[in-house]
Amino acid sequence: MSALVIRNGHLIDPAAGVDAPKDILLKDGKVAEIAGTGKLKHANGAEVLDAAGLVVAPGLIDIHVHLREPGQSYKETIATGTAAAAAGGFTAVAAMPNTLPVNDTADVTRWMQAPERGANVRVFPIAAATRGSKGEALNDFAALKSAGAVAVTDDGHPILKDSVMRDTLVAAARVGLSVIQHAEDTRMTQGASMNAGPVAFKLGLRGMPAEAESGLVERDIRLLTELRDSRAHLHVAHTSTADAIAAVRQARRNGLRVTCEVAPHHFLLTDEHVGLYNTNFKMNPPLRSAADRDAMIEAILDGVVDAIATDHAPHATHEKEVEFERAPNGITGLETALGLCLHWLHGEWKMPLGRVLSLLSAQPAAVLGLKGRGTLAVGCSADAVVFDPKAEWTYHVAETKSKSRNTPFDGWAMQGKVRWTICEGRIAYARS
Amino acid sequence: MTPAAARRTLQSPPVQASSSPYNPGSLLSVENLSLEALSRILDRATALTRQDPLERARILAKRKVALLFYESSTRTRTSFELAAKALGCDTTLVSNLSSSIEKGESLKDTGLTLRALGAEAIILRHNANGGPWLLEQHTRLPVLNAGDGMHEHPTQALLDLRTILAHLRGGATSMGPETLKGVTVTVTGDILHSRVARSNMLLLPRLGAQVLLCGPKELLPDVAATTGPAVRIERDFETALRQSQVLMMLRIQAERLAGLQLDLDDYKRGYQLTGERLHSFAPQALVLHPGPIIRGLELTGGVADGPQSAILEQISHGVAIRMAVVERALNGGRA
């Protein structure tokens, strides 16, 4: 494999504690050398990328995406989804198992990582916790792990039965996998298509109460408390309510291994944004009240949130061009996450750049235990994003690399333009 | 910066969706209807009712209007059809039970098909909330919302208003923010599932009326009071009756209860409008009901047929209002 030098850039690597001008040599898919500007010793013959005026950071890691393969390649393929990821600065994505068939076997897990899929960045499959994600019989976690699965979840079909969730936590801990829960007590959300509250009432839509999320998070934390001595790790996916965040905060104080992620739409938008049944603002968990949205911002700023994850969920245009209640849940997010985080978290709310980048790389890598990722220390995977932190631009979905266009952020102001995305030493995206 | 301070400086991302229709002839919600536009509709309704039928039939002669109905309807469908025909329109009815909708054709494609067939406006009754916005967005035709799910039923609110004005304001048509000052309208019954209630709650307070909502929690959640400052909840039916000049009774929508268990005997004890209650607590009040009525449930047969009932009058006001909105639709928003 050829060597690559990123020269004259400003390296921000939160996990390594670096925030300084550095040149970096990438070789054989790994970080080979880091030195002050112009001081690399082994860079002869390497291809050079001039990063003057740009930030060089560990490649972004999105631990919650839906790549739709196998089974729904009309919405997205692993190739197109990872092309969108690379354009957004991501070098690794963790793919949810709600595929057709459900990813509940080592075969599917391996199939998703096969070179024939044409992945443009690294794909880490997350396997189903139970057979067919039906919430009953546990899958073979050891086999899934050795096939490459990095966590287990039933995602959109949350595990409601206490005994099954307890067994999942125990069995996953035994093989060193995290359990990710989409916290929604689906008994409370039948027929609902948005957040419960004044907006839902006015629109005449059945609402999902915030308690459907927080109640299940509290239940899961209780189960974890009962298993106190195990290494069980619960990760709360796409947290959207103040009460759920409060439960995570408290669990952490009590020393439990509970982590959580928040999606950009949940710290930027509220149920008011649904407007008049705009299906590009329909997802699950739904956009919540302003108080919930503010709680997400606060939790991100004060460090309770471990990761920003997009819940990238592509759907074909014709599927979204229907009556609101009939439209599928989900929005795309890989191409807008960095631009929104830099514009809002860093630009508007003054979160230090290093902390924003950490939420998008080092911390999500730690959540899923992705070794050698999320940092650009020597010997680690040569995953980097090079971007202009000052550049302001507008997102136009017409230019998306994804197969789908279901974003609420078309026409939104973004900050920070990706110049190169480098995955395992290979240029996965270069802005022309 | 502390999180709290950050929150204070939080510049909320803009709410982009606009409630204004794409086509100025559309009537999707009562919310974006200005008082001026409202007055024009009421004025035209009266003028058209008085006009010579032969002359009236020339106003929109041979213009094509499609009625697209995804739910059963007697009053709304018939009165829209009669209204359009009274102005000379050719109408065609497409219903979900006898069309390609049964074969899975989407609302978008059904709308585009009607447009290709020459429809110049579409009157839509849809079981899903927001259907009219979707149809208008894709066809760009004037769309008249004839009821969408549990959301809105704007022409019902307009005909209710015309009925109230006929009784309490001598048939006035010029609307201002105090036109209904001092008038309390109590809406009783299944408000949670009622598009009629929602449209009235949005419309009547803009004319100065107070709206009281009455019913049990299952059918009237507390959140209903957030609809507007002049909208309040009064759980006790008799207390509400005492304050009211207008009583709007609603049917229990069995088709939308979605598993909700309701003891109908309890309901009747608490909220049925009986002759005795009317006589004791609201002997002057006007009784309205959007229909269909279920005699012996939300009101007794005696009240429905009694002297305070304007239920059948509402139906004829419906034709008048719908003539005005069909005319407005085909005149590019000018009534």
**pLDDT digits over A330-346, tens only?**
999 999 999 999 999 99
Q: In this complex, which of B7, B19, B150 lies closest to A297 when CB atoms are compared? A: B7
CB distance B128 to A323 below 8 Å: yes
Q: Which one of the listed residues A62, A311, A388, A410 is annotated catalytic?
A: A311
Q: Rg of the Cα trace of chain B?
A: 21
In terms of Cβ atoms closer than 10 Å to its own Cβ (0-12, 13-18, 19+), residue A114 is: exposed
A381: left (phi over 0), alpha (psi -120 to 50) or beta: beta
What integer is the mean pLDDT of B75-95? 96
Minimal CA–CA distance to A357: which of A19, A81, A3, A28?
A19
Beta partners for A278? none
* Tens of pLDDT, residues A193-203: 999 999 999 99
What integer is the mean pLDDT of B25-41? 95
Minimal CA–CA distance to B134: which of A326, A204, A199?
A326
Question: Hey, what are A162's tokens?
Answer: 């206490």
Question: Hey, what are A152's tokens?
Answer: 């287990």
Q: Which DSSP string corresponds to A219-272?
A: HHHHHHHHTTTS---EEE-S---HHHHHHHHHHHHTT--EEEEE-HHHHH--GG
First to last CA, chain B: 56
Quickly count: other Cβ atoms within 10 Å of residue A240's Cβ.
31
Minimal CA–CA distance to B176: which of B208, B146, B144, B218?
B208
The mean pLDDT of chain B is: 92
CA–CA separation, A343 vs A414, rounded Å? Answer: 6
Contacts 24+ apart (CB under 8 A), A267-270: A267/A293, A267/A296, A267/A297, A267/A300, A267/A344, A267/A345, A268/A293, A268/A340, A268/A344, A268/B13, A269/A293, A269/A408, A269/B13
The C-alpha of A274 sits at a distance from chain B's nearest C-alpha, in angstroms, of: 7
Indicate if the pLDDT at residue B9 is higher than 80: no
Q: Which chain A residues contact residue B134 at CB under 8 A? A: 277, 321-323
CA–CA separation, B74 vs B162, rounded Å? Answer: 20
**Quick one: pLDDT at residue B8?**
43
> What are phi and psi for residue A341, nearest 5 degrees?
-65, -40
Contacts of B73 (CB under 8 A, 6+ apart): B125, B146, B147
* Tens of pLDDT, residues B173-214: 999 999 999 999 999 999 999 999 999 999 999 999 999 999
Question: What is the 8-class DSSP label of residue A289?
Answer: -
Give me the sign of the Cα torsion angle A51, A54, A57, A62.
negative
Q: Omega of the bond prior to A101 within 30 degrees of 0, cis?
A: yes
* Tens of pLDDT, residues A243-295: 999 999 999 999 999 999 999 999 999 999 999 999 999 999 999 999 999 99
SS3 B206: helix
CB distance A278 to A193 below 8 Å: no
Q: Which chain A residues contact residue B129 at CB under 8 A? A: 203-205, 277, 323-325
Minimal CA–CA distance to B246: which of B293, B308, B294?
B308
Encoded amino acid at A414, one letter: M
H or E element, residue A276: none
Q: Rg of the Cα trace of chain A?
A: 21
H or E element, residue B113: helix B107-116
Q: Which DSSP string corresponds to A166-194?
A: HHHHHHHHHHT-EEEE----GGG-TT--E
CA–CA separation, A341 vs A348, rounded Å? Answer: 10
CB distance A24 to A376 below 8 Å: yes
Indicate if the pLDDT at residue A146 is higher than 50: yes
What integer is the mean pLDDT of B21-31? 91
Do the chains contact at A203 and B129, CB–CB below 8 Å?
A: yes
Question: Hey, what are B167's tokens?
Answer: 């009784």
Decide if A311 is catalytic. Answer: yes
Q: If you search the block for the tokens 């795309």, which residue do you land on? A: A332
Q: If you search the block for the tokens 């928040």, which residue do you land on? A: A262
Q: In this complex, which of B3, B107, B226 lies closest to A302 when CB atoms are compared? A: B3
Q: Please name the residue of chain B whose CA is at the shortest distance from the CA of residue A290.
A: B12
CA–CA separation, B104 vs B108, rounded Å? Answer: 11
Encoded amino acid at A61, one letter: I
CA–CA separation, B54 vs A114, rounded Å? Answer: 75
E-assigned strands of chain B?
64-69, 90-95, 121-126, 143-148, 184-188, 210-214, 231-233, 246-249, 286-288
Indicate if the pLDDT at residue A311 is higher than 80: yes
The C-alpha of A19 sits at a distance from chain B's nearest C-alpha, in angstroms, of: 21
Encoded amino acid at A382, one letter: A
Question: Hey, what are A255's tokens?
Answer: 């020393």
Do the chains contact at A298 and B16, CB–CB below 8 Å?
A: no
Indicate if the pLDDT at residue A118 is higher than 80: yes
Here the ipTM equals 0.92
* Tens of pLDDT, residues B265-324: 999 999 999 999 999 999 999 999 999 999 999 999 999 999 999 999 999 999 999 999
Question: Hey, what are B67's tokens?
Answer: 């009625």
CB distance A292 to A269 below 8 Å: no
| CA-to-CA separations, A34 to A27, A382, A418, in angstroms, rounded | 12, 12, 21
* Tens of pLDDT, residues B96-121: 887 888 888 999 999 999 999 999 99
CB distance A341 to A297 below 8 Å: no
Q: If you search the block for the tokens 């054709």, which residue do you land on? A: B105
The C-alpha of B59 sits at a distance from chain A's nearest C-alpha, in angstroms, of: 33
Q: Which of A203, A245, A276 to mutate to test the interface with B (most CBs of B within 10 A)?
A: A276
The C-alpha of A337 sits at a distance from chain B's nearest C-alpha, in angstroms, of: 15
Interface of B with A (CB under 8 A): 1, 3-4, 6-7, 9-13, 15-19, 106-108, 126, 128-131, 133-134, 138, 148-152, 193, 195, 198, 221, 223-224, 226-227, 258-259
Interface of A with B (CB under 8 A): 190-191, 196-198, 201-206, 268-269, 272-278, 281, 290, 294, 297-298, 301-302, 318, 321-326, 344, 348-350, 411-412
CB distance A13 to A378 below 8 Å: no
Question: What is the 8-class DSSP label of residue A381?
Answer: B
**Quick one: pLDDT at residue B171?**
93
CA–CA separation, A206 vs A186, rounded Å? Answer: 13
CA–CA separation, A213 vs A217, rounded Å? Answer: 6
Q: Please name the residue of chain A whose CA is at the shortest distance from the CA of residue B219.
A: A201
Minimal CA–CA distance to B195: which of A277, A203, A199?
A203
Q: How confident is the model at residue A2 (pLDDT cuts 50, 70, 90)?
A: confident
Q: What is the pTM of this model?
A: 0.94
Do the chains contact at B15 and A272, CB–CB below 8 Å?
A: yes
